[in-house]
Amino acid sequence: MTDTWARKNFDDVADSAPKFGMEAFGETRFLRDEIGAKTIGSALYRIRPNARPGFGHRHGEVEELYVVLEGGGRIKLDDEIVDLRPMDVVRVAPEVVRELEAGPDGMVVLAFGTHVEGDGEMLPGWWT
Protein backbone atom coordinates (compact mmCIF):
# COMPACT_ATOMS: atom_id res chain seq x y z
CA MET A 1 0.00 0.00 0.00
CA THR A 2 1.20 3.49 -0.81
CA ASP A 3 -0.34 6.91 -0.24
CA THR A 4 -1.70 6.89 -3.78
CA TRP A 5 -2.99 3.33 -4.30
CA ALA A 6 -3.59 0.02 -2.54
CA ARG A 7 -4.47 -3.61 -3.35
CA LYS A 8 -6.18 -6.14 -1.09
CA ASN A 9 -8.05 -9.36 -1.86
CA PHE A 10 -11.49 -9.69 -0.26
CA ASP A 11 -10.60 -13.26 0.78
CA ASP A 12 -7.80 -11.81 2.93
CA VAL A 13 -10.30 -9.68 4.89
CA ALA A 14 -12.04 -11.15 7.94
CA ASP A 15 -15.60 -12.42 7.54
CA SER A 16 -17.75 -10.11 9.69
CA ALA A 17 -20.88 -12.28 9.57
CA PRO A 18 -20.08 -14.19 12.80
CA LYS A 19 -19.40 -10.92 14.65
CA PHE A 20 -22.95 -9.78 13.83
CA GLY A 21 -24.64 -13.18 14.35
CA MET A 22 -25.23 -13.56 10.59
CA GLU A 23 -23.63 -16.97 9.95
CA ALA A 24 -26.89 -18.31 8.46
CA PHE A 25 -26.78 -15.49 5.89
CA GLY A 26 -23.31 -16.33 4.59
CA GLU A 27 -20.15 -14.24 4.44
CA THR A 28 -19.85 -10.49 4.82
CA ARG A 29 -16.46 -8.91 4.15
CA PHE A 30 -16.04 -5.14 4.51
CA LEU A 31 -13.09 -3.44 2.86
CA ARG A 32 -12.20 0.18 3.56
CA ASP A 33 -9.64 0.76 6.29
CA GLU A 34 -7.48 -2.12 5.04
CA ILE A 35 -6.74 -0.22 1.82
CA GLY A 36 -6.65 3.26 3.31
CA ALA A 37 -9.92 4.44 1.76
CA LYS A 38 -11.29 7.57 3.36
CA THR A 39 -14.49 8.42 1.46
CA ILE A 40 -15.58 5.12 -0.08
CA GLY A 41 -16.49 1.76 1.40
CA SER A 42 -17.14 -1.66 -0.07
CA ALA A 43 -18.54 -5.01 0.98
CA LEU A 44 -18.59 -8.48 -0.52
CA TYR A 45 -21.59 -10.64 0.35
CA ARG A 46 -21.55 -14.39 -0.32
CA ILE A 47 -25.14 -15.22 0.45
CA ARG A 48 -26.21 -18.80 1.13
CA PRO A 49 -29.03 -20.25 -1.01
CA ASN A 50 -32.45 -18.78 -0.16
CA ALA A 51 -31.00 -16.66 2.67
CA ARG A 52 -31.49 -13.02 3.60
CA PRO A 53 -29.91 -11.13 6.49
CA GLY A 54 -33.09 -10.59 8.54
CA PHE A 55 -32.95 -6.81 8.49
CA GLY A 56 -33.26 -3.97 6.03
CA HIS A 57 -31.24 -0.82 6.23
CA ARG A 58 -31.17 2.74 4.92
CA HIS A 59 -28.92 5.75 5.13
CA GLY A 60 -29.17 9.47 5.64
CA GLU A 61 -26.52 10.45 3.07
CA VAL A 62 -24.92 7.35 1.53
CA GLU A 63 -25.88 6.26 -1.99
CA GLU A 64 -24.93 2.63 -2.76
CA LEU A 65 -24.37 0.38 -5.75
CA TYR A 66 -24.93 -3.38 -5.63
CA VAL A 67 -23.37 -5.56 -8.35
CA VAL A 68 -24.41 -9.20 -8.67
CA LEU A 69 -21.28 -11.19 -9.51
CA GLU A 70 -22.63 -14.75 -9.28
CA GLY A 71 -25.93 -16.54 -8.74
CA GLY A 72 -29.13 -14.62 -8.42
CA GLY A 73 -31.92 -13.61 -6.12
CA ARG A 74 -33.88 -10.53 -5.25
CA ILE A 75 -33.57 -7.16 -3.59
CA LYS A 76 -36.42 -5.44 -1.78
CA LEU A 77 -36.37 -1.66 -2.20
CA ASP A 78 -39.02 -0.04 0.02
CA ASP A 79 -42.18 -1.86 -1.17
CA GLU A 80 -40.80 -3.17 -4.49
CA ILE A 81 -39.08 -6.53 -5.03
CA VAL A 82 -36.65 -6.72 -7.96
CA ASP A 83 -35.23 -9.96 -9.41
CA LEU A 84 -31.45 -10.07 -9.79
CA ARG A 85 -29.11 -12.03 -12.05
CA PRO A 86 -25.36 -11.93 -12.70
CA MET A 87 -23.98 -8.55 -13.78
CA ASP A 88 -27.09 -6.63 -12.67
CA VAL A 89 -26.23 -3.32 -11.02
CA VAL A 90 -28.69 -1.65 -8.66
CA ARG A 91 -28.24 1.94 -7.49
CA VAL A 92 -30.03 2.74 -4.24
CA ALA A 93 -30.69 6.25 -2.95
CA PRO A 94 -29.86 6.80 0.72
CA GLU A 95 -33.42 6.93 2.04
CA VAL A 96 -34.59 3.70 0.37
CA VAL A 97 -34.80 0.70 2.71
CA ARG A 98 -33.07 -2.27 1.13
CA GLU A 99 -32.44 -5.96 1.80
CA LEU A 100 -30.97 -8.75 -0.34
CA GLU A 101 -32.22 -12.32 -0.69
CA ALA A 102 -30.37 -15.09 -2.53
CA GLY A 103 -32.10 -17.55 -4.82
CA PRO A 104 -31.64 -21.34 -4.77
CA ASP A 105 -28.05 -21.11 -6.09
CA GLY A 106 -26.93 -18.45 -3.62
CA MET A 107 -25.65 -15.06 -4.68
CA VAL A 108 -22.37 -13.12 -4.58
CA VAL A 109 -22.82 -9.34 -4.44
CA LEU A 110 -20.30 -6.51 -4.38
CA ALA A 111 -21.62 -3.35 -2.73
CA PHE A 112 -19.94 0.00 -2.56
CA GLY A 113 -20.65 3.64 -1.95
CA THR A 114 -19.47 6.71 -0.17
CA HIS A 115 -18.60 6.32 3.49
CA VAL A 116 -20.09 8.51 6.21
CA GLU A 117 -19.38 7.32 9.75
CA GLY A 118 -22.56 6.36 11.63
CA ASP A 119 -24.81 6.88 8.60
CA GLY A 120 -26.93 3.77 8.70
CA GLU A 121 -30.19 2.65 10.25
CA MET A 122 -30.86 -1.08 10.69
CA LEU A 123 -34.46 -2.28 10.57
CA PRO A 124 -34.70 -5.83 12.04
CA GLY A 125 -37.45 -8.05 10.62
CA TRP A 126 -38.28 -5.53 7.90
CA TRP A 127 -38.86 -8.04 5.04
CA THR A 128 -41.31 -10.64 6.37
Q: Where are the domains of the chain?
A: 24-120
pLDDT in tens, 17-76: 999 888 999 999 999 999 999 999 999 999 999 999 989 999 999 999 999 999 999 999
CATH of domain 24-120: 2.60.120.10
What pLDDT score does 110 carry? 98
Rounded to whole angstroms, how far apart are CA atoms 6 and 42? Answer: 14
Rounded to whole angstroms, how far apart are CA atoms 14 and 40? Answer: 18
CA atoms within 13 A on the CB side of 19: 7
Q: Return the number of other C-beta atoms located less than 10 Å from residue 100's C-beta.
A: 24
DSSP 69-125: EEEEEEEEETTEEEEE-TT-EEEE-TTS-EEEEEEEEEEEEEEEEE--TT--EEEET
What pLDDT score does 14 carry? 96
* Nearest residue to 32 via CA among 100, 90, 114: 114
